C-alpha cells in the first residue's frame, strides 16, 4: 500500500494549458459555501456526466433539481460544499466532501468530488476550488482525502497529480455503463500530518458557529 505524504506547502500547479481571458466563460466573482438554492446550477454541470454515453458518473439518470438541493443540504450538515460563481451569478464549478466509509475508525477521512462547467476547465479553477476545500477540511480536523476516478479521464488524473494526490489502487471492471466495464482509480492525499491521537473532527456548522464567518471567508479568499 502506498503511504500518503502530507500536503505540500508549496504553491500547487494550476490546471495545464490555461486559456486567455477572452475564452473564459465568466470572470470568477467569488468562492462561497453552497446553498440548496444553487441546486439548478450544480445540476446543470453534473447532469451530462450521468448521461447514457458518459461513464464519469455511475448514476444512470441525472438527479432532479429537488434531489440536488437535498444532497447539498445533507452534505452541509457535516461537511463543506463549495461553489465558484462568475460575475453574472452563474455556477462555474463545485466541490464537496463526503464520508469515506461508515465505520467509525474511518471518520478522519473523506472522499472529495469536483465538477466544472465545460467552458471553465483548464483555467486553474479546479485547483482553486480544491485548495479552498482542503483548507477547510484541515481546519475541521480531517487527515485524508480520497478521490475515485473512472478511467480513462486524463483531465481529472492530471488535476489530482498536480495537487499531490498519489494513486492508491484501481478497482478493475467495477462498474458497467455505456455497454462496457470500467475501472475506477482511487487516489489519496494526506491533508496534514497524522498525530498519535487525533482530536474528533468538527462538524462544518459547528466550525462556522465557533470560528465565525470571518474565519470562513479567510479560507475562501
Domain CATH for 104: 3.40.630.30
Half-sphere exposure of 164 (CA within 13 A, CB side): 19
> Coil, helix or strand for 4?
coil
Between 188 and 120, residue with greater pLDDT: 188
Say whether pTM exceeds 0.95: no
Domain total for the chain? 1
Q: What is the DSSP letter of 54?
A: -
**43 in any annotated domain:** yes
- Reading across the β-sheet that carries 91-99, which strands appear in turn? 28-33, 81-86, 91-99, 109-116, 144-150, 180-190, 166-177
Cell of 102: 461508515
Strands 109-116 and 144-150: parallel
**77 in any annotated domain:** yes
**13 in any annotated domain:** no
Domain of 43 in residue numbering reads as 26-220
> Coil, helix or strand for 189?
strand
pLDDT digits (tens, 9 = 90+) for 73-117: 999 999 999 999 998 889 999 999 999 999 999 999 999 999 999
**198 in any annotated domain:** yes
Start-to-end Cα distance in the chain: 36
How far apart are the C-alpha atoms of 219 and 132, rounded to whole Å? 6
**21 in any annotated domain:** no
The reply to whether omega before 152 is within 30° of 0 (cis) is: yes
- Specify whether the CB–CB gap between 100 and 146 falls below 8 A: yes
pLDDT digits (tens, 9 = 90+) for 18-71: 444 334 556 777 999 999 999 999 999 999 999 999 999 999 999 999 999 999
**170 in any annotated domain:** yes
Amino acid at each position: 500500500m502506498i503511504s500518503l505524504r502530507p500536503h505540500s506547502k508549496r504553491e500547487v500547479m494550476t490546471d495545464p494549458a490555461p486559456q486567455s481571458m477572452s475564452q473564459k466563460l465568466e470572470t470568477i466573482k467569488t468562492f462561497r459555501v453552497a446553498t440548496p438554492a444553487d441546486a439548478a446550477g450544480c445540476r446543470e454541470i453534473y447532469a451530462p456526466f450521468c448521461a447514457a454515453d458518459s461513464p464519469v458518473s455511475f448514476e444512470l439518470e441525472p438527479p432532479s433539481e429537488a434531489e440536488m438541493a437535498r444532497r447539498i443540504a445533507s452534505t452541509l450538515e457535516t461537511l463543506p460544499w463549495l461553489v465558484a460563481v462568475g460575475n453574472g451569478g452563474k455556477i462555474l464549478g463545485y466541490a464537496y466532501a463526503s464520508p469515506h466509509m461508515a465505520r467509525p475508525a474511518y471518520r478522519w477521512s473523506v472522499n472529495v468530488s469536483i465538477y466544472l462547467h465545460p467552458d471553465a476547465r483548464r483555467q486553474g479553477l479546479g485547483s482553486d476550488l480544491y485548495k479552498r476545500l482542503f483548507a477547510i477540511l484541515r481546519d475541521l480536523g480531517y487527515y485524508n482525502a480520497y478521490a475515485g476516478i473512472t478511467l480513462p479521464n486524463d483531465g481529472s488524473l492530471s488535476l489530482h497529480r498536480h495537487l499531490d494526490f498519489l494513486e492508491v489502487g484501481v478497482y478493475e471492471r467495477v462498474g458497467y455503463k455505456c455497454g462496457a466495464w470500467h475501472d475506477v482509480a482511487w487516489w489519496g492525499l494526506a491533508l496534514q500530518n497524522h498525530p498519535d491521537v487525533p482530536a474528533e473532527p468538527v462538524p462544518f456548522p459547528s466550525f462556522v458557529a465557533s470560528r465565525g464567518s470571518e474565519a470562513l471567508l479567510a479560507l475562501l479568499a
